[in-house]
């Protein structure tokens, strides 16, 4: 991640073009130069690696998906703009380039979007001089901000965008504009306050997306980018607020559902699981040892989870509280600790990635703490493995991102005297396709080593 202090933003100097100064909470330049443009970069390409904006061979810090760099002053005139990313060998490559011209007081938010293999760039150009002038007027007692909305989701997604005070209803909202794919609204100036944004199907009053209350209290331009997401429900979009200095704030649709499933980590017991709230209930039957149920879609809410031994009808976990929030995709893991049955929840990252995968590992073996998981490719041993997850205690979950390859997974415990014990070793697993990976380690008396790493 990049340094949030605009003045210490790291860059790699590859050329000789000068960058303008920086200042305040809004990241604006106070440089006295007669001619300056302002640039910012946001990465909305869902399957991208980290990417960076490059202007005339000056490379800004790398930006992950869903993140942005601060607003920054730059010289006007002709500019060679590139976006750097990484290829399958983790080498830096140019994934987009364009020659452009910056004029005095230009404001640009460059948004990378679409498939990382052939990405596109949306240049959001906006005005803010009237807002700045009004906020600089010491004779007036008000505080102004601006808002616009852009759409980089997909060809078939078009919406009308509205905004209202959070104390008002949709019927009182002001229309920001209609936003088809690759489109954005003009900026609207409003008083700083608490607001809600609504999206409707284009040309209708059918509200399909509502944010929670947003604190828009900084004298800045809030650029709301509607991008792809990979949570629960059918819409699969989310709204990111990109201001001028800090990391974006994500606003999930307050009406989104959640997806959950249940993994039975008990070696000898088949389970019935009841997941109950005041509004809806789910009853999952006959979950056999070391298997996972199908995903269930449910409303966001707080639920009581009751687990019953299928064979004896004995309640072994009674009304344990589990919360599912909007857009969550989670697995409830049931396991044994001493003589008690307990549960923990892991949340899944479903975002596809070019050349790499997100891997989650949870330790449900109460016999061991401080485990190390080695992902060993065909040219490595445990000692030389580049990708490892270390120090996983009982009931802990850890994650890492690793490149596409064939891996043998080894789970190892090292005692205080340095003796290493191999708890599990897999066959070669090919990490490819469109999914990320989740594994759970359990005790398993039927396995070769007494433990098994289960792929969910």
Q: 374-415, pLDDT tens digit by residue?
A: 999 999 999 999 999 999 999 999 999 988 899 999 999 988
Domain span holding position 116: 6-125
In a domain? residue 167:
yes
Whole-angstrom distance, CA of residue 267 vs CA of residue 263: 12
| Mean pLDDT of all residues in 314-342 | 92
Tally of domains within the chain? 4
In a domain? residue 178:
yes
Could you read off the pLDDT of 28-62 as tens digits, one per residue? 444 445 799 999 999 999 999 999 999 998 999 99
Please indicate, yes or no, whether residues 194 and 287 belong to a single structural domain of this protein: no
In a domain? residue 213:
yes
Could you read off the pLDDT of 213-248 as tens digits, one per residue? 999 999 999 999 999 998 887 788 999 999 988 789
Give the residue ranges of DSSP H helices in 118-165.
129-136
- Name the domain boundary from 85, 103, 125: 125
Displacement of CA 397 from its chain's centroid (Å): 18
Residue 96: phi and psi, rounded to 5, are -160, 145
Residue 338, SS3? coil
- Contact (CB, 8 A) for 443 and 267: yes
- Name the domain boundary from 198, 230, 251: 251
In a domain? residue 448:
yes
Please indicate, yes or no, whether residues 119 and 30 belong to a single structural domain of this protein: yes
Please indicate, yes or no, whether residues 136 and 237 belong to a single structural domain of this protein: yes
Taking 70 as the threshold, does the pLDDT of residue 210 lie above it?
Answer: yes
Residue 452 Ramachandran class (φ > 0 left, ψ -120 to 50 alpha, else beta): beta
| Mean pLDDT of all residues in 319-330 | 92
End-to-end CA distance of the chain: 30
Please indicate, yes or no, whether residues 140 and 235 belong to a single structural domain of this protein: yes
pTM of the entire predicted model? 0.86
Taking 80 as the threshold, does the pLDDT of residue 6 lie above it?
Answer: no
Considering only CA atoms, which of 273, 287, 284, 282 is closest in space to residue 301?
Answer: 282
Please indicate, yes or no, whether residues 214 and 294 belong to a single structural domain of this protein: no
Q: What is the pLDDT of residue 33?
A: 53
| Mean pLDDT of all residues in 408-430 | 91
Please indicate, yes or no, whether residues 104 and 19 belong to a single structural domain of this protein: yes
Please indicate, yes or no, whether residues 28 and 78 belong to a single structural domain of this protein: yes
Domain with 377 in it: what CATH number?
2.60.40
Dihedral sign from CA coordinates of 160, 163, 168, 173 = negative
In a domain? residue 391:
yes
- Name the domain boundary from 212, 235, 251: 251
Please indicate, yes or no, whether residues 61 and 120 belong to a single structural domain of this protein: yes
Whole-angstrom distance, CA of residue 264 vs CA of residue 283: 15
Q: What is the pLDDT of residue 350?
A: 87
In a domain? residue 107:
yes
Please indicate, yes or no, whether residues 111 and 160 belong to a single structural domain of this protein: no
In a domain? residue 1:
no
Could you tell me which residue, 3 or 254, shows the higher pLDDT? 254
Taking 80 as the threshold, does the pLDDT of residue 25 lie above it?
Answer: no
Please indicate, yes or no, whether residues 45 and 115 belong to a single structural domain of this protein: yes
Displacement of CA 372 from its chain's centroid (Å): 26
In a domain? residue 173:
yes
Please indicate, yes or no, whether residues 236 and 284 belong to a single structural domain of this protein: no
In terms of Cβ atoms closer than 10 Å to its own Cβ (0-12, 13-18, 19+), residue 69 is: buried
Please indicate, yes or no, whether residues 172 and 214 belong to a single structural domain of this protein: yes
């Amino acid at each position: 991640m990049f340094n949030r202090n605009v003045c210490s933003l790291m860059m790699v100097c590859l050329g000789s073009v000068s960058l303008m100064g920086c200042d305040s909470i809004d990241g604006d330049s106070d440089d006295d130069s007669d001619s300056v443009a302002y640039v910012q970069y946001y990465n909305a390409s869902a399957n991208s690696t980290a990417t960076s904006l490059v202007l005339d061979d000056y490379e800004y810090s790398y930006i992950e998906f869903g993140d942005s760099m601060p607003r920054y002053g730059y010289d006007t005139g002709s500019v060679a703009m590139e976006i750097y990313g990484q290829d399958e060998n983790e080498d830096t490559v140019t994934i987009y380039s364009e020659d452009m011209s910056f004029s005095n007081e230009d404001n640009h938010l460059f948004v990378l979007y679409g498939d990382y293999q052939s990405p596109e760039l949306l240049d959001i150009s906006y005005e803010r001089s009237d807002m700045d002038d009004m906020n600089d007027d010491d004779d007036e007692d008000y505080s102004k901000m601006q808002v616009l909305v852009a759409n980089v989701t997909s060809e078939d997604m078009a919406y009308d965008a509205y905004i209202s005070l959070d104390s008002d209803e949709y019927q009182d909202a002001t229309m920001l504009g209609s936003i088809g794919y690759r489109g954005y609204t003009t900026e609207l100036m409003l008083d700083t306050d608490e607001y809600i944004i609504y999206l409707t199907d284009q040309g209708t009053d059918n509200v399909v997306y509502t944010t929670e209350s947003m604190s828009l209290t900084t004298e800045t331009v809030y650029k709301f980018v509607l991008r792809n997401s990979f949570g629960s429900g059918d819409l699969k979009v989310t709204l990111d607020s990109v201001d001028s200095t800090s990391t974006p704030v994500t606003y999930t649709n307050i009406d989104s559902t959640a997806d959950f499933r249940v993994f039975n980590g008990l070696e000898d017991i088949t389970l019935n699981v009841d997941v109950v709230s005041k509004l809806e209930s789910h009853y999952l039957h006959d979950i056999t040892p070391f298997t996972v149920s199908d995903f269930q879609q449910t409303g966001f809410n707080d639920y009581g989870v009751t687990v019953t031994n299928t064979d004896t009808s004995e309640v072994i976990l009674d009304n344990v509280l589990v919360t599912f929030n909007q857009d969550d995709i989670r697995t409830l893991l049931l396991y044994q600790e001493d003589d008690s049955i307990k549960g923990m929840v892991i949340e899944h990252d479903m975002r596809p990635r070019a050349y790499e995968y997100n891997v989650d590992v949870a330790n449900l073996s109460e016999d061991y703490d401080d485990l190390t998981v080695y992902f060993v490719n065909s040219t490595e041993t445990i000692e030389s493995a580049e990708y490892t997850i270390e120090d996983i205690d009982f009931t802990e979950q850890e994650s890492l991102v690793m490149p596409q390859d064939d891996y043998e997974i080894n789970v190892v415990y090292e005692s205080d005297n340095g003796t290493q014990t191999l708890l599990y070793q897999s066959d070669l697993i090919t990490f490819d396709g469109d999914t990320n990976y989740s594994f759970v380690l359990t005790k398993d008396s039927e396995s070769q080593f007494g433990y098994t790493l289960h792929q969910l």
